[in-house]
Amino acid sequence: MIDALIFDSGVGGLSVSEEIRRRMPDCSLGYLCDNAALPYGTRRDDWLIERIVAVCVSACELARPRVLVVACNTASTLALAALRARLPIPVIGTVPAIKPAAEASRSRTIGLLATGATVHRPYLDRLIADHASDCRVVRVAADALVIQAESHLAGKAIDARTLQMAVAPLRAAAELDVVVLGCTHFPLLRGLLEPLMPDRLWIDSGAAIARRLSQVLGDTRSVPAPPGEASEAPSWATAPQVPSLGPILRRFGYSSPLALEITQPAVATPVS
Ligand code: DGL
């Protein structure tokens, strides 16, 4: 049994895993990615709900975590209720940090970089209505950054023009003072994005998720293995054969991925 299984479509959840390890170095973690279906942000909602539930339910049967952390805004803004209905353990979601952004903004103009799916979801409309109703929120669908983040961790060159294009609508709003990274892949590019718009506050949800996990686990956390006996954190992937994935996961403290076979629903062609 592990304390928490961290789930994302790809390597984006590793940005959340880092925050969890910073806060709770002894927490036993596992990592799960549905990289056969990456990117999620351009797929149909009904297919995605079925897929996310199938992937998480099968992985939880194997990993037996105390808590599932959905380290993916695109999945959380759509499938949290379905996951909670199917799983007997607490499920922690990731949603864009609109509330802290609104609390921090002086100009009342904030920017959101997220996947196309997340920026158009009713969940986001409700989040803004509840916490940032007096703010102008510049929403940017930046799906191309998901692939850039995957490439960046794989050690491949970044396309500077793609990054420039993603932030262009935010730069056009001169008074904007806070940028929300509403996709867990994007903090992996933070060092490249921030210099494009310095003097703004850049916020993501990683630290808040780590705090929430610490509350949910409370005293039930597993006893850490004695030094020298610590075993590697397990990982699972739906396309474990992707050559760059094993080295990336090992760099973040996980074992090479085991195969998670999901036959239903099969991977469909992305919408766009
Ligand atoms: N990392 C995911 C998120 O936070 C999405 C990436 C994808 O489109 O698959 O939204």
User: pLDDT tens across 42-56, in order?
Assistant: 999 999 999 999 999
| pLDDT score at 214 | 97
* Helix-, strand-, coil-residue percentages of the chain, each rounded to 5: 45, 15, 35
CA separation for the pair 246, 8 (Å, rounded): 15
Instruction: Quote the ligand 1 centre to 28 CA distance (angstroms).
Output: 23
Positions annotated as catalytic residues are 72, 183
Taking the CA of residue 13 as reference, the ligand 1 atom at the shortest distance is: 1
- How would you classify residue 181: left for phi > 0, otherwise alpha for psi between -120 and 50, otherwise beta? beta
Distance CA 155, CA 50 (A): 32
Which helix or strand (DSSP H or E) is residue 204 part of? none
Q: Which residues line ligand 1 (CB under 6 A)?
A: 8-10, 12, 38-41, 72-74, 115, 118, 146, 183-185
Strands 2-8, 109-114: pairing kind: unpaired
Q: How far is the CA of 258 from the centre of ligand 1 (A)?
A: 21
Write the pLDDT tens digit of every residue in 53-86.
Answer: 999 999 999 999 999 999 999 999 999 999 999 9
Q: What is the pLDDT of residue 230?
A: 58
Tell me the three state secondary structure of residue 264: coil
CATH architecture assignment, domain 2-94+208-259: 3-Layer(aba) Sandwich (3.40)
pTM over 0.75: yes
Atom number, ligand 1, closest to the C-alpha of residue 74: 10
Which alpha helices (DSSP H) does 32-72 contain, by range? 45-63
Q: Are 62 and 76 in contact (CB under 8 A)?
A: no
Q: What is the DSSP letter of 138?
A: E
Q: In the β-sheet with 136-141, what is the strand arrangement from edge to edge? A: 136-141, 109-114, 178-181, 201-203
Question: Please, are residues 203 and 177 in contact by the beta-carbon 8 Å criterion?
Answer: no
State the distance from the centre of ligand 1 to the C-alpha of 41, rounded, in angstroms: 6
Confidence of residue 232 (pLDDT cuts 50, 70, 90): confident
What pLDDT is attached to residue 98? 98
Residue ranges of the chain that CATH labels 3.40.50.1860: 2-94+208-259, 98-204
Q: CA 140 → CA 47, 92, 189, 219, 227, distances in Å?
A: 23, 25, 16, 40, 46
Model confidence at 271, pLDDT cuts 50, 70, 90, reads: low
CA 49–ligand 1 middle distance (angstroms): 14
Are the C-beta atoms of 21 and 253 separated by less than 8 Å? yes
Q: Quick one: pLDDT at residue 59? A: 98
| Mutation test residue for ligand 1: of 38, 115, 181, 238, the one with most atoms within 8 Å of CB | 115
Looking at residues 139-167, what average pLDDT do you find? 97
CA 51 to chain centre: 16
Q: Which CATH class is domain 98-204?
A: alpha beta
Q: What is the DSSP letter of 219?
A: G
| Structure token pair of residue 156 | 């491949």
Residue 107's pLDDT is what? 98
What does the block give as tokens for 224? Answer: 């850490």
Indicate which atom in ligand 1 lies nearest the CA of residue 38: 9
Structure tokens of 209?
Answer: 């998720």
Q: What percent of the chain has pLDDT over 90?
A: 91
If we measure between CA atoms, which residue out of 93, 171, 89 comes closest to residue 127? 93
pLDDT of 101 strictly over 80: yes
The phi and psi torsions of 38 (rounded to 5 degrees) equal -65, 140
